[in-house]
Amino acid sequence: MQRDKIKPILFSIIKHSDSEELKRQLPKDVVSGVMVAVVALPLSIALAIASGVSPEQGLYTAIVAGFLIAFLGGSRVQISGPTAAFATIVAGIVATDGMDGLVAATVIAGVLLAFTIPTGSRVDLQKFMTWSGDRVREARAAYVETEPVTLQKDYMFTVTRLSSVARQVVPPATRLEHMLYPWVYFAVLPLFALTNADVSFLGGDVLAMVSSPVFFGVFFGLLLGKPIGILLFSFLTVKLKIANLPDHVNWIHMLGAGILGGVGFTMAIFVANLAFPEAVLIADAKIGILSASLLAGVIGFLFLFMQAKAAERQGISYVSASLDEVVRQTAGEEAADMADDVVLGCGDEDLVDDVREVLEAEGGVAEFVVHEIRDEAEAEEAEDVTGTRP
């Protein structure tokens, strides 16, 4: 971890105590701290009494915690928030309504909180452009190439201020979305799906489950049956001229998509519940579904990843681009950034103009195959790999 990410902002304040901007900001911070203390100190006394200890102990705890929070403010290890108050509220809800009541209260609080999160920025963008330009020039003037960055105090202070203000330009709702993105997709949604599907293996004999004929039937049906079925019927559909493969898609891509088709969850568990009358057989089917889905997802991802890397070594890139005015989710932002890196990295202004024309014609979103061609042999090879003339 870098030093600037764990260094409290108090150190920078002491180092640059003669800064005019700091002199203007410090009185406001002091007033804010006093307002927090006016609320926190009586609350700490009340919490101490409610917890069965003396008011003095609550007051001492609040003072020590306040100094600790202030000292660590601005670093990655800062701690803050009315944790004790929330603990008291949570304990009361659990005591009176149980865990179901706590879950309901949490959901309601989350929904109400979402309505209060601002979707716009209060930063004046025109003033920010001028101010950020000045800070960039200051950073450039303070930077010394021959010294380690972490030892250049003036440079680090300037870029830290710039980073802090630039972060406020992004609306709080967008920042929160980006922060929660991995937690929602990789923790909350899987847990939500598992609990709502009533998937539980506690008390069961896992060895007996994985040796059951039901397990093997479901497991290989998803892992082998679905990819074979997808590829077979896609092949027949193309050969009978009922449909064509999408642009830039070949049969290697279809094989990878077929493997990913082995990922099954909601409908697979629903059919298992209908097909098997006994709970033991349903549990066997569920563990087969989860095992096959996990393995199919990993194999499909690795297969397509290696295919993409092989194409990249040949100078071929598959990108999904969109115009700036298109509203994107987090994944769309990442795809757009990758497309910008590939297209702009080519250094071809005509290519950039062509991409923009296609995006405008396609409603703002389109997919491209970018291939760096050096000779006619590579052009023919690109035609074979992508299925279209580059």
234 with 254: CB under 8 angstroms?
yes
With a CB cutoff of 8 Å and minimum separation 6, the contacts of 338 are 319
Residue 371 has φ and ψ, to the nearest 5°, of: -135, 125
Report pLDDT digits (tens) over 119-163.
888 888 888 888 888 888 988 888 888 877 777 888 888 888 888
| Cα separation, 235 vs 254, whole angstroms | 10
Bridge-based pairing state of the strands 316-322 and 365-371: antiparallel
pLDDT score for 16: 58
**Residue pLDDT, tens place only, 9-18:** 566 566 655 5
Q: How buried is residue 164: exposed, middle or buried, by Cβ count under 10 Å (0-12/13-18/19+)?
A: exposed
* Cα 326 from Cα 330, distance rounded (Å): 12
Whether 6 and 75 have beta carbons less than 8 Å apart is answered as yes
Contacts of 123 (CB under 8 A, 6+ apart): 165, 168, 169
Q: Which residue has the tokens 């009533």?
A: 198
**What would the pLDDT profile of 66-119 be if each residue is shown by its tens digit?**
777 777 665 555 555 555 556 666 766 777 778 778 778 888 888 888 888 888
The residue with greater pLDDT, 294 or 200, is 294
